[in-house]
Structure 1
Amino acid sequence: MNKHFDDSRYYLARAAEHAKLGLTETITPYATRLRAAVGRDEPEPDPSRLEAVRDELLALERRAEGQARDAVGSARGTLSRPEADEPADGR
């Protein structure tokens, strides 16, 4: 008899969990609209450490690309000048 009570308790908990998920899914659009109307929007969650490191790496990559392009452009400009054909010691 005890096994039947354990089984029924398991299925009752499972049904409650599914009911909670269904209600959450149904109510979410209304709750979001209500929060927006009242002005109580939820703040954006802080980025995780992985996201912060990824953002830092992307910024570093962009900065390195910009510096490399500037260096290449400067070198091309130096090499394309007519006085660049002369030796550096002036002979």
Structure 2
Amino acid sequence: MNKHFEDAWYYLRRAGEHLSVGIREEAEPVERRVRKMLGREKAEEVPPSGRQRLEAELRRRTPRRVEVGGKKAMRRAQSGIRRYRGGSAE
């Protein structure tokens, strides 16, 4: 894939993540009021420490990054082998 498309997909994903976080933050007061009116308040959660938050983020993102990186490495290796053999060798 063209480097420009890879960059565009990266920034599109980042924008989507920021959008979802922003929407959650904006909707939180409304959700709290509705839950209070319905009698379904959430139990107050203790905010995670910096380390806990970092560990959770790494657990969530690392498998996807490894998968994508592995697939890219395989494509590059296959492409290099094809070039070495002089074209499309199957």
TM-score range, shorter chain: 0.3 to 0.5
TM-score (norm 2): 0.46
Q: Say which one has the larger Rg.
A: 1
